Structure 1
Amino acid sequence: MNSTVMKKTMYFFALPALLFYCVFWIFPIFKLFQYSITDYNGYAQSFNYVGLSNYKELFSGSTLGNSIGNTLMYTLVSVVVGNLIGLGLALLLNQNIRGKGFYRSISYIPTLFSAIVVGFIWSYVYMPDSGMIASLLRMVGIPIDNLNFLGSYSSALYSIIFVEIWKNIGITMIIFLAGLQTIPNDLLEAGRIDGAGKWKLFRNVTLPLLATSVTINITLSIINGLKAFDFPFIMTNGGPGDSTNTLVYSIYKMAFTEQLFGKASALGVISFFIIIVITIIAVLTMNKKEVSA
């Protein structure tokens, strides 16, 4: 088979995937941009083009700033805390300890549950009077007056972030664990012979060789944080007030509750660029560190 026929055959086999990509990715993005400059309400057959008025309204209101702030905080805490805990678990379960296979499985189990199941379970755990946390505190004699994790403006967002970390910690741990198992023992043994302590070995040998795993985990954590919707929707409906109102939840609320589909599309466009820019910056930064390591 000559090269021309091979190229045509390759294009033929790639065509279904390309059509799928265009129909379910390129076309929806095009429609999103189109609806963002209209007053479309989501169900009417006709709509009017209103130019950039949807964008002006978003930038002049408080919804955009509050949603961006909540989303960035959600992302920052889940990235930093989630990766630190995941790395700590991976380091611990990479040791030659008894029953480590069992502990690895236990750590990974939360990942297997759907977000809906996890959200409902933790909603009951956080219940002020009859939840698991309140019951445990009452058993040990700790007063639980005014204990309302999801009903407090100051604690609701962080309570949801904890659930996000708990659910995804298994994936983070497994990726770090896979990276740790690729590190040659000879390097670590050579460092010990040279007199390096545990912290020096970790900082100068283990961590640089985990650069790829760090990049993967941070990128996944950033994407999960920036598109956070399920737990704010299931556990608090964006409340109390607007304390857990993330970007994606704001888009849902505008489109399907307030029936401001055009305005929601404008917020979707803004969110699209925010997510793209932050992800690209993070990936480029991590890639530079990976190369230097």
Structure 2
Amino acid sequence: MRFNIRYSPAAPCLESALNQSLGVPFKLLLPAFFSVAIVVVLPLLFSLYTSFTAYRLIDPDSIWNLVGLRNYLRAFANGDFWAAFGRTVLFLTIALNLELLLGLGIALLLNQVVKGQRALRTIMMFPMMFSPVLVGFQFKFMLNDSTGVVNHLLQTVFGLKSTIPFLVDAQSALASLVAAEVWNSTPVFAVILLAGLMALPKDPIEASKVDGCTPWQTFRYVTLPYLMPFIYIAMTIRSLDVGRAYDIVRIMTNGGPGGRTELLWTMVGRIAYDDSRMGYANAIGYVSVLVSVLFTLYFFRKLNAARKHMGPA
């Protein structure tokens, strides 16, 4: 019996194997690409297109009515838009700084705990497990001027004669929104900063103690510079969330009283679904996205500067 064995050249075999190795992963990723295209890319392109049209929900044919940059120019000329923009920046600035201070304090305290730290970390994370809608309802009922528990405590414990309309007065309403947002999201800062403290090298701290530094000097010149990258990471994450705040504002005040607590995204929701002007709302939405991108780029620049200040890893 004779066997005829023919050997193929090496190059075609390698080329076939290479094509197969490159083709299989791409085919495996096709469903993911397809899903992202349907869920993310197409809605973004559609909303971007409609921002240049006079599209109204009650008039489907208006989607083909191109108006160019009229929606954007209209937004920039609208005083309500700039008022909502200013409130959004103010809301974001106050909320982020309060969350940073409280989260840093909680992280420093938890880092000193020896026993029961895991249990305390779990308890600390409870607020961030609640949905913003639920947090909005909780604070709305707690701050109610007639049946709220806060006014009840102020009257029974502190002897206050009249109730405080937390959600009716413009200034206290915005402060109430900030309080709800801070309560809900401070654990994000605390968790990230606690991770930074746990990863902090012990040698620089011990060296500062040997040199006679006070606890404040050790924190100011050793601990805080090391934590700055973690702080900017937390700032970046939270700025994206706070910049698109909608749920808590919608539930607690719905932009009132008289639009005094209306932020950019609540304004977008009102114009899009209450007034049915979807094209105009999408234009304002893309301006809001641009603001969030600018904040993110700013914090990334600060993050890179902090990492360079720390030196090579």
Q: Is residue 2:50 matched to residue 1:35?
A: yes
Instruction: Give the letter for the 1:110 counterpart.
Output: P
SS at match of 1:119: helix
Check conservation: 1:208, 1:290, Cα contact below 8 A. no
Q: Deviations over 1:70-94 (max 9, x none)?
A: 1101110111110110010000111
Partner of 1:242: 259
Which runs of structure 2 are paired with 1:143-182 in the superposition (5 Å)? 143-145=160-162, 147-182=164-199
Check conservation: 1:32, 1:268, Cα contact below 8 A. no
Q: 1:273 aligns with which of 287, 290, 293?
A: 290
Separation (CA, whole Å) in 1 of partners of 2:244 and 2:161:
33
Which runs of structure 2 are paired with 1:67-82 in the superposition (5 Å)? 67-82=84-99
Q: Is residue 2:73 matched to residue 1:56?
A: yes
Check conservation: 1:55, 1:266, Cα contact below 8 A. yes
Instruction: Give the letter for the 2:249 counterpart.
Output: P
Separation (CA, whole Å) in 1 of partners of 2:31 and 2:209:
55
Change over 3 Å in CA distance of 1:279–1:148 after alignment to 2:
same
Instruction: Quote the offset at 1:99 in angstroms.
Output: 4.2
Q: Is residue 2:245 matched to residue 1:233?
A: no
Instruction: Give the letter for the 2:207 counterpart.
Output: A
Report which stretch shifted further, 280-289 or 241-250: 280-289
Separation (CA, whole Å) in 1 of partners of 2:192 and 2:148:
33
Instruction: Quote the offset at 1:184 in angstroms.
Output: 2.4
Q: Is residue 2:213 matched to residue 1:196?
A: yes
- Structure 1 gap ranges (5+): none
Q: Is residue 2:153 matched to residue 1:126?
A: no
What is the alpha-carbon root mean square deviation over aligned residues? 1.8
Q: Deviations over 1:4-28 (max 9, x none)?
A: 4322223222322222222222222
Separation (CA, whole Å) in 1 of partners of 2:107 and 2:242:
22
Separation (CA, whole Å) in 2 of partners of 1:186 and 1:29:
50
Separation (CA, whole Å) in 2 of partners of 1:27 and 1:266:
17
Q: Deviations over 1:48-102 (max 9, x none)?
A: 2222222222122112101111110111011111011001000011103554444
Q: Is residue 2:226 matched to residue 1:209?
A: yes
Change over 3 Å in CA distance of 1:131–1:18 after alignment to 2:
same
Structure with bigger gyration radius: 2
Instruction: Quote the offset at 1:119 in angstroms.
Output: 0.9
Instruction: Quote the offset at 1:147 in angstroms.
Output: 0.7
Separation (CA, whole Å) in 1 of partners of 2:184 and 2:301:
27
SS at match of 2:125: helix
Instruction: Give the letter for the 1:113 counterpart.
Output: F
Separation (CA, whole Å) in 1 of partners of 2:146 and 2:76:
40
Aligned residues: 293
The sequence identity of aligned pairs, in percent, is 30
Separation (CA, whole Å) in 2 of partners of 1:86 and 1:239:
29
* Alignment TM-score, normalising by the size of structure 2: 0.88
Separation (CA, whole Å) in 2 of partners of 1:144 and 1:188:
52
Q: Which has the higher contact order (CA 8 A, sep 6+)?
A: 1
Report which stretch shifted further, 208-217 or 80-89: 208-217
- Structure 2 gap ranges (5+): 1-13
Check conservation: 1:215, 1:287, Cα contact below 8 A. no
Q: Post-superposition, which runs of at least 4 consecutive aligned residues in structure 1 deviate over 6 A? A: none
* Alignment TM-score, normalising by the size of structure 1: 0.94
Instruction: Give the letter for the 2:251 counterpart.
Output: I
Check conservation: 2:146, 2:163, Cα contact below 8 A. no
